A and B are shown apart, each in its own frame.
Chain A
Amino acid sequence: MLAIQVLLIVVVLVVGAVLVRSTASARHQAVRRLLLAALVALAVASILVPTAVTSAANAVGVGRGADLLLYGLVIAFLGFVVSSYRRARHLEESLTALARRLALDEAPTPEQARHREGDGPAGD
């Protein structure tokens, strides 16, 4: 196995693990942004000087510059999927808490329900 293959696999796994475990959001957001910035820089460079990306790829044992870019994209995409899943999960939890609180506050209380049934102290 090529060194670059090992490296890429490790990076994929580490990024995945880090993003899955991330709860302290500020630091991981910074990491995500750095990764994104690196990807953007790489993309721009590949457009400006296609041969440079190819030689960079060759230097680490990947055939074409486009392939290197693709690997970067795959890693970024995986990170995006995981982090947006987690974000959606957090959002859903807040929404649930909010909707539950609203639902309980608007419903007749159990005491009112008992009163309606003529059960228990007729407290108003």
Chain B
Amino acid sequence: MTTSAPSPAPSPSPPAGPGFDDTWVVVPLFCEASVIAGVVRGLRERFRYVVCVDDGSTDGSGAQAEAAGAVVVRHAVNLGQGAALQTGIAYALRDPRTRSVVTFDADGQHRVEDAVAMVARLEAEDLDVVFGSRFLDRRTELDRLKRLVLRAAVVYTNRTTGLRLTDAHNGLRVFSRRGAQTLRIRHNRMAHASEIVHQVGRSDLRWAEQPVHVLYTAYSRSKGQSVLNSINILVETLLG
């Protein structure tokens, strides 16, 4: 209800309190025990409600997230990031007061300020989807091969969906309730990113892109997708 309470200007001090009490932040979680507590605590400085979907982690990530103040929803078996996102979104939609849903990666590569700004924009411009983009400005540093592959993914996704996005595979997104209700993620593994763009493209949802800064730390780099995995994404997308 208090969308205007936390000013979007970056004010790291917590006195504003956990803001946005009608937003759920969905964090798909798989074996990130060393960083997840920090990520959840960071989110909880600005968002009251964080749901981590523990996708069958074996390293106690779920307990870490719970201790840090997140609600944890546990998949009995590992299903993949797309499945975890859909579960988290379904959870958020069970709350009748949910007005928006943020998707946020567990490895700490996204910045909470970006998410806050995206929710503010969703509300201000009455949008249904705000995609985070690494490529709207030059802040995010990528090596050349990764940039090339991500660019190719963007070209492919734009061709097949009719949307004009600059970054198709960014885990930071914000959905309005209506936007979240429209999603039906069927690709359990990595092809879900293009699938989300696809479904938004087919719908009449109002969307926008927002420049965000992705922090490629040594940790997220080591956990990140290998470029070869883009072949898997392509095959999964083509075979449906």
Contacts and interface: CB of A to CB of B under 8 A. Distances in A.
Interface of A: 85, 92-93, 95-96, 99-100, 102-104, 106-111, 113-114, 117, 119-120
B87 interface: yes
A113 B71 contact: yes
A107 B73 contact: yes
Interface in B16-75: 18, 21, 24, 48-49, 53, 71-75
B5 to A, nearest CB: 13
B71 A107 contact: yes
Contacts of B74: 103, 106-107
A120 B1 CA distance: 11
A107 B72 contact: yes
Interface string B93-109: 01101100000000000
A114 B18 CA distance: 12
B188 interface: yes
A96 B49 contact: no
B87 A100 contact: yes
Given A96-B83, A117-B49, A109 B75 contact: no
A104 B97 contact: no
B237 to A, nearest CB: 13
Interface residues of B, number: 27
B148 interface: no
Contact of A104 (B18, B83, B91): B91
Interface string B184-205: 0010100000000000000000
A3 B79 CA distance: 47
Nearest first, the 5 A-B pairs at minimum CB distance are A110-B95, A107-B73, A100-B87, A103-B73, A113-B71
29 contacts: A93-B186, A95-B79, A96-B188, A99-B77, A100-B75, A100-B83, A100-B86, A102-B76, A103-B53, A103-B73, A104-B87, A104-B90, A104-B94, A106-B73, A106-B74, A107-B73, A107-B74, A110-B24, A110-B49, A110-B91, A110-B92, A110-B94, A110-B95, A110-B98, A113-B49, A114-B49, A117-B49, A119-B21, A119-B48
The main secondary structure of chain A at its interface with chain B is: helix
Interface of B: 18, 21, 24, 48-49, 53, 71-77, 79, 83, 86-87, 90-92, 94-95, 97-98, 186, 188, 239
B52 to A, nearest CB: 10
A102 B79 CA distance: 13
A56 to B, nearest CB: 35
B94 to A, nearest CB: 6
A120 B97 CA distance: 10
A99 B75 contact: yes
Contacts of B71: 107-108, 110, 113
Given A100-B90, A114-B49, 16 more contacts: A96-B188, A99-B76, A99-B77, A103-B53, A103-B74, A103-B76, A104-B87, A104-B90, A106-B73, A106-B74, A110-B91, A114-B95, A117-B18, A117-B49, A119-B21, A120-B97
Contacts of A102: 76
Contact of A95 (B73, B77, B239): B77
A51 B7 CA distance: 86
